[in-house]
Amino acid sequence: MYFNWKDKTNIDELKVICNLIKNSEIIIFPTETVYGIGANAFDSAAVGKIFLAKGRQSDNPLIVHLSDKSKIEEVAEDVTEVEQKLIDAFMPGPFTIILKKKPVIPDIVTAGLDTVAIRIPSNIIARGIITYAGVPIAAPSANISGKPSGTNIEDIRKELEGRVSAIIDGGKTEIGLESTVVRVIDGVPVILRPGKITPEEIRAVVGTVRIDDKAFKRLNDDETPLSPGMKYRHYAPTTKCKLVYADNEAEQVFQMKKLVKEYKGNVVVLGFDEHEEKIVVSQGRYIRIGSKENLEEIAQNIYTALRKADTIKADIILIEGIKKYGIGVAIMNRLLRTCEYDYIEVLDCD
């Protein structure tokens, strides 16, 4: 079933969706970050279908989505003062907090961990579904595991139609990157996965913040990250990718052009709007990711651009990197993993 709620939620169709959820079915719905594949979080059989539809590893836990803050105590306990400050500051919104779980959440949701990831989406379609379904919704991103997350309905239909009972079209997602995942450890908020809510914003609320260093490096097989999902290949097209960043713009263009030449033009470039005339490739091989001045726009476009790049036959996808600041931290975290850490970085010494 396909429902178009781009302009308005259809109440009759909302009833159909809630019935599907009650009947252990799984659905795709929009949130402000990326689309999710959702099921009743209390229903192990339904949650099992999500893992199957995505081909997701069973040791990678899901985020539980709630309709409002008053529901947190139904699924989590022992919330500390710092955790409460973060909840009050950033929820609803693109922010996920790891809390001590109550037994009511089945093990399949949390991959057997004693913690549960909680998010309250601000998107009205998402909140409408969670509210009317009357149960928390466990939902990972809408994509086959390892692929870029689904941020527009055409990509999602191509990849997942037939694997879920219903798809709700809410238009292109507003943010385009997954939520910031935070766990408070010894009173310090630790960012396990960077996202739209930046380290600077978190520090402004509780005075301190740390980014898990595993977010930016390749993990050895024996390393266990605090966020199990971080160990898997992710956000990746089939064609291999290389990321290029220089803090001097002319140098970045130079490095990109050098690579285009090295690969004899058999490349796809994911580049800034401003560089299309500078990094010359044959027609259709330059995919604009947005203005270099507008990181929000780049975040919104990046996954669709990666999917588009993958439809063009090439030896490599060359991607322009950005400064790791603000939402740039999250974009670079995803792109490093897209490229499996194949990264050229040129930093000015002075």
Enumerate residues 138-177 that contact Mg ion by CB under 5 A.
Answer: 141
Site string for ligand AMP, 163-192 (x = CB under 6 A): ---------------x--x----------x
End-to-end CA distance of the chain: give it in Å, rounded: 58
DSSP codes, 130-163: HHHHTS-EE--BSSSTTSPPP-SHHHHHHHHTTT
Q: Which is nearer to ligand AMP, 112 or 265 (CB)?
A: 112
Q: By CB under 6 A, name the one of 141, 151, 152, 304 that touches ligand AMP.
A: 141
Which letter does DSSP use for residue 220 in this model? P
Which among 68, 115, 73 has a CA at the least distance from the CA of 93?
68
Q: Which is nearer to Mg ion, 140 or 271 (CB)?
A: 140
**Residue of this chain nearest to ligand AMP (CB atom):** 229
Q: By CB under 6 A, name the one of 47, 98, 256, 279 that touches ligand AMP.
A: 98
Site string for ligand AMP, 211-230 (x = CB under 6 A): ---------------xxxxx
State the minimum distance, in angstroms, from the CB of residue 181 to Mg ion. 11
Question: Which segments of 63-219 does DSSP mark as H helices, in order?
Answer: 72-75, 81-90, 107-110, 124-133, 153-160, 199-206
Q: Binds 116, which of ligand AMP, Mg ion, none (CB < 5 to 8 A, cut-off by type)?
A: ligand AMP
Q: Which is nearer to ligand AMP, 21 or 116 (CB)?
A: 116
State the minimum distance, in angstroms, from the CB of residue 219 to ligand AMP. 13
What is the separation of C-alpha 60 from the centre of its chain, rounded to a whole number of angstroms? Answer: 14
Q: Binds 9, which of ligand AMP, Mg ion, none (CB < 5 to 8 A, cut-off by type)?
A: none
Measure the CA–CA gap between 238 and 241, rounded to whole angstroms.
Answer: 9
The answer to whether 94 contacts ligand AMP (rule: CB under 6 A) is no
Rounded to the nearest 10 degrees, the angle between the axes of helix 124-133 and helix 11-22 is 50
